[in-house]
Structure 1
């Protein structure tokens, strides 16, 4: 279902992209188009995933506020060892009011329950994001 302008054609997608920008501090569009060698439906996957995460899940603040949801997401990404998504989750956590100290505590928890090696891998990404935030 690839269209000429998926954002203009899908208000839910546009809203999700706006939410992502608010949480991350930058627009996602540059990451969402089909790249060289990707099939036509790659854009559909990226659009659907974006709508689900940033349109359906992140706005749910009745029971978990955005800051808490961000810390949970950092924990999950670090535990799974998905380092590029972790980078985004760390940015969201910082933009949502989580402190660097709270994020370090998350890595202590990851070390205790998912392993020290996994926590150190993730913390290297956190240190990069902390430095990036200090520069801006």
Structure 2
């Protein structure tokens, strides 16, 4: 494991998703799951999220579309919170889901709207 990239990834992960989520993810990782936490923190958050080609806001918008297309509600809720932290508005989130309805399917987008309402109600 590249410790420097891991630490940088943890920092980015915390800035986007919040300390509480990251702390819980790490605390709940056992011997089986910790390698996945390390991979996610180092590769996804340390390397890809910190590349200079796209800003965090744009990456968040893309993730909302991807999670909708892949029908991953748990990850979608997490990334809706992250998108809000990255300055994406509720209106922009709605537009991503409407766009995704056309290309990923209406049922997937309906579920995404449902997930967003849950996140918005939680504050």
Structure 1 and Structure 2 fold alike (TM over 0.5): yes
Residue in 2 that maps onto 1:125:
115
Gaps of 5+ in 1: 2-8
Where does residue 29 of structure 1 map in the other structure?
23
Partner Cα distance (1:57, 1:83) in 2 = 22
Structure with the higher fraction of residues in helix conformation: 2
Tell me, what secondary structure is at the counterpart of 1:111? helix
RMSD across aligned positions (CA): 1.9
Aligned to 1:47: 38
Alignment correspondent of 1:86: 76
Q: Which structure has the bigger radius of gyration?
A: 1
Query: Which structure is richer in relative contact order (CA contacts within 8 A, separation 6 or more)?
Result: 2
Q: How far is 1:41 from its partner?
A: 4.3
The separation in 1 between residues aligned to 2:23 and 2:77, in whole angstroms, is 17
TM-score by length of 2: 0.87
Pick the aligned partner of 1:16 from 9, 21, 38.
9
Could you list the runs of 5+ residues in structure 2 that have no partner in the other structure?
Answer: none
Residue 19 of structure 2: SS of its match in structure 1? coil
Alignment partner of 1:70 out of 33, 52, 60: 60
Query: What is the deviation of 1:113?
Result: 1.0
Aligned counterparts of 2:55 and 2:11: Cα–Cα separation in 1: 18
Deviation at 1:91, TM superposition (A): 1.0
Matched positions, count: 121
Q: TM-score, normalised by structure 1?
A: 0.80
Q: Are 1:102 and 2:92 an aligned pair?
A: yes
